[in-house]
Amino acid sequence: MNIDKLSKKAKWIRSRALEMCINAGKGHLGGAFSCTEILVALYYGGILNISPLSKNNSDRDRLIFSKGHAMLALYVILGDLGFFDAKELEAYGKNGTMLGDHPDHMIPGIEIASGSLGHGLSVACGLALSAKMNNKNFLTVAILGDAECNEGSVWEAATFGCNSKLNNLVAVVDNNRIGATDFTENFSGSMPMENKWQAFGWQTVKIDGHSFRDILSGFERAKQSTDRPTAIIAETIKGKGISFMENKSNWHHGAPKGELAIKARQELADGDKNGN
């Protein structure tokens, strides 16, 4: 897909995620919308070598979605690509749905159960290491939130990934600068995110996380690394795409209702045409 089509797809993904959220009366739209372009680039922009046909192939690329709460956009993408029947998306939030508020490994296309933060990068390290041990060329990508990086285990994994020279591993930090209740600088300090990863020996690439050109070139650089993993620090806006959610710490979780639901739908309306 070219960048224009990717942009349309991202808008459509957001509109579908919004409908899931309104339909269910719940969901983490803020974090889903900050990483929407990243996910669209991975799945539609030719970064990840994975499809419903190859979802069990041992050579497939792996996406470890560590910030599991932000799964709404990912669910829409997996349904759209046919990893599972897109009708399942309508059941989100209903009794008996296979789509939980956090993704589990039994959902086609989901690699690991996530939701408890700080787990994904370690598992991604193990997968990337297994690729090296088995002489396989697949890429492992982990998507983390910036507030998730408060977890000490993230830095255990960062140490391990560097020491193991996992150049087949990419950590994308969705740096939307807001946690569940507050701006991260108020509880994590103001040290730039890329400085931390550099200090742990990673190649870092700072990008605009809503620019497809930036995302695609960031992964190009990551794939060229010969001796170390790459952290793509994606500067993003929480709630991107809906004006009253953007960069607001009170839109970590929750569904817009009434006038807000109408306004949100209007702002994403152009995307409600299958995104192609």
Partner 1 sequence: METKNYTDLRDAFFEELYLLASADSNVVLIYGDQGAQTFKKFQQTIPGQIINGGIAEQNLIGVAAGLALGGKKVFVHAIAPFITLRCYEQIKVDLGLMGLPVTLVGIGAGYSYGDAGPTHHAVQDLSILRAISGMTIFNASDTVSLSRFVKIAYGNIKGPVYIRFDKDSPSQIYTEKESFCAGLAKIRSGKDIIIISTGLMVHRALAVADKLNSLGIDAGVIDVYRIKPLNSVLLAEVLAGCQRIVALEEHSPIGGLGSLISEFICDSGLSTVSLKRIALEDSDCFTYGTREYVHTRIGLDKDTLVARIREWLVL
With CB under 8 A as the rule, give the number of residues binding partner 1: 33
H or E segment and range at residue 194: helix 193-199
> Interface with partner 1 by CB under 8 A: which range of 19-27, 105-113, 200-208, 226-234?
105-113
Q: Does 101 bind partner 1 (CB under 8 A)?
A: no
Structural contact between residues 62 and 26, judged by C-beta atoms closer than 8 angstroms: no
Q: Does 110 bind partner 1 (CB under 8 A)?
A: no
Instruction: Compute the distance between CA of residue 26 and CA of residue 239 in angstroms, rounded to an integer.
Output: 14
Enumerate residues 47-86 that contact partner 1 by CB under 8 A. 58, 62
Q: Does 124 bind partner 1 (CB under 8 A)?
A: yes
Q: Does 128 bind partner 1 (CB under 8 A)?
A: yes
Structural contact between residues 108 and 97, judged by C-beta atoms closer than 8 angstroms: no
Q: Does 160 bind partner 1 (CB under 8 A)?
A: yes
Structural contact between residues 213 and 3, judged by C-beta atoms closer than 8 angstroms: yes
> 22 or 124, CB closer to partner 1?
124
Structural contact between residues 158 and 121, judged by C-beta atoms closer than 8 angstroms: yes
Residue of 49, 54, 57, 134 that binds partner 1 (CB under 8 A): 134
DSSP string, 71-128: THHHHHHHHHHTSS-GGGGGGTTSTT-S--SS--TTSTT--S---STT-HHHHHHHHH
Residue of 122, 203, 204, 236 that binds partner 1 (CB under 8 A): 122
> Interface with partner 1 by CB under 8 A: which range of 11-19, 111-119, 219-227, 258-266?
111-119
Residue of 19, 61, 80, 111 that binds partner 1 (CB under 8 A): 111
Spatial strand order in the sheet of 203-208 = 62-65, 140-145, 169-175, 230-235, 203-208
Q: Does 105 bind partner 1 (CB under 8 A)?
A: yes
Instruction: Compute the distance between CA of residue 247 and CA of residue 88 in angstroms, rounded to an integer.
Output: 30
Instruction: Compute the distance between CA of residue 93 and CA of residue 11 in angstroms, rounded to an integer.
Output: 22
Residue of 152, 226, 258, 259 that binds partner 1 (CB under 8 A): 152
Question: Which residues in this chain contact partner 1 in the complex, by CB under 8 A?
Answer: 58, 62, 104-105, 111-113, 115-116, 118-131, 133-134, 152-153, 156-157, 159-160, 163-164
